[in-house]
Amino acid sequence: MNRRRFITNAGLLIGSSLSCAKAFAAAKRDDRHTTSSRLLEAFLSLPGNKSGQIDVDASRRPWQVTHDPDAALFCGSCFKTFVLTTYLQDVEAGRLSESEQIKIDDDIRSVGGEVFERLTGTAPARIVLEAMMAHSDNTATDAVMWRVGVDKVRAFLSNAGLVRARIPDSTRRFFSYVAGYPVGVDMGWAGLETMQAGKNDRPTRPAINDQQTMVCPASDFVSYYKRALAAAGNCSRHEARCRSVSLPQRLVWSLSWDRRWPNPAHRPRRLSATP
């Protein structure tokens, strides 16, 4: 084959390859658009008010799909991650310890979770934190909130820029207010037992309110977990310290060992719905 014919054929081949590459890239974009538009279909078919945000922070082509992500909907027990973070920040600062004993009694007892609901005494903070997160135990949550201070948890939210998130003074104060008790009144463990027995005759209030509630937009949850996972990505398995200024190292380590998110390119999603 002479040089001219070779160059001509090579040019045709390169042009064909480029066309195929462009077509492939366009198909990937179309497929990604189709996929992203369908990600929330089943979720949006649920009844009630809905909010969602999914971020895919791929290094070259990040994309996002959302539905009313800034709506402050009821988040339930999801707020407990903020309580955990605040406690662990105090552990890192030397003000608290994971081995200290935290009291469990009728003064802070709440319903839900079934770990500490019928127990009285003390337990190591590490066990109480585990019950709060792994079992969503409300007595454990109120015990940790009592120990660390709800004002400090709210200060963490403010400093982290999560200003639309709102948390109750305790889960028991939340139940008390929703059950119809006046603002600031704790119904006590006896009142909770009465409520559970269906004997509460007070007019109830909605879970989303201006006094005692648990709300946080999907966009704020995604922002929070992105920062946690980005910090986890800066830590090797054997490092003693992590470069994290906004979230405590202990929380970063727990996230970095979660096999569902093996690297910071795999970002979280947050969906929430309320009737």
Tokens standing for residue 156: 């963490």
Reported as a single tens digit per residue, the pLDDT across 120-166 is 999 999 999 999 999 999 999 999 999 999 999 999 999 999 999 99
Using a pLDDT cut of 90, give the percent of the chain over it: 48
pLDDT score of 2: 55
CA distance 50 to 66: 11
CA distance 125 to 141: 11
Reported as a single tens digit per residue, the pLDDT across 242-267 is 333 344 544 544 443 333 333 434 44
Q: How far is CA 174 from CA 117, 169, 209, in A?
A: 17, 7, 10
Find the mean pLDDT for residues 54-80: 88
Rounded to 5°, the CA angle 96-97-102 comes to: 90
Residue spans of the domains in the chain: they are 40-73+217-275, 76-216
pLDDT score of 56: 85
pLDDT, greater one: 138 or 1: 138
Cβ proximity of 35 and 64 under 8 Å: no
pLDDT score of 183: 92
pLDDT score of 196: 86
Q: Is the pLDDT of residue 235 over 90?
A: no
pLDDT score of 33: 53
CA distance 200 to 190: 11
CATH topology of domain 76-216: Beta-lactamase (3.40.710)
- The helices-and-strands tally (H runs, E runs) of the chain is 10, 5
